[in-house]
Amino acid sequence: MTANVMVVVERQFDTPREAVFRAWVEPEELSRWRGSPGWHVEEATAGDRALGGRHHHVKVRDNDSATRVTTDGVYTEYFSPDVFVSRERITGDPGIDPEEPLELRVEFTKYGRNGTLLRIIQGPYDPDVAGWHGEGWEKELTRLAAYLGETSTVGGAR
């Protein structure tokens, strides 16, 4: 089957876009929310947060530390706090060919007075796994919402 399906997911947050953007690109923040339920980020690093900068993270299944999904990416666009695009190689996910890079585009649009409309576009995926990856993003964004809610009330507003 030919990988030709792009997954698109949107979510609104009652959080300023600078804070939402930071949650995506700062390794210590990314490690606190990325991963679907039952997973966590064990390692996250970032090089230059700019065009050509590299980033890396490893998701690990909570009940099986041998099950790991590694993402290695390079920013092909980077405009803080508006958008970043990353060309990524993902290994350890049975639905993704690690030899074929995916593109991840994340857009952060000011929404209302102090909110953010987040839009994720990722692919191309094989048609038979695209829906599963869309559901995975929905679960991760639920975790991001919880993280942003914690950080805006604990330790002061962002």
pLDDT, tens only, 116-146: 999 999 999 999 999 999 999 999 999 999 9
Cβ(27)–Cβ(57) below 8 Å? yes
pLDDT score of 118: 98
Average pLDDT, the chain: 93
Cβ(136)–Cβ(13) below 8 Å? no
Sign of CA dihedral 120, 142, 67, 65: positive
pLDDT score of 129: 92
90-107 mean pLDDT? 95
pLDDT score of 50: 94
Tell whether the model's pLDDT for residue 89 goes beyond 70. yes
Kindly state which CATH superfamily the domain 5-153 is placed in. Answer: START domain (3.30.530.20)
C-alpha to C-alpha distance for 134 and 8, rounded to whole angstroms: 7
Provide the whole-model pTM.
0.92
Q: In whole angstroms, how far apart are CA 22 and each of 12, 60, 85, 105, 140?
A: 16, 22, 15, 15, 16
Least confident of 52-61, 93-102, 148-157: 148-157
The model's pLDDT over 22-32, given as tens digits with 9 standing for 90+, comes to 999 999 999 99
pLDDT score of 5: 95
99-128 mean pLDDT? 96
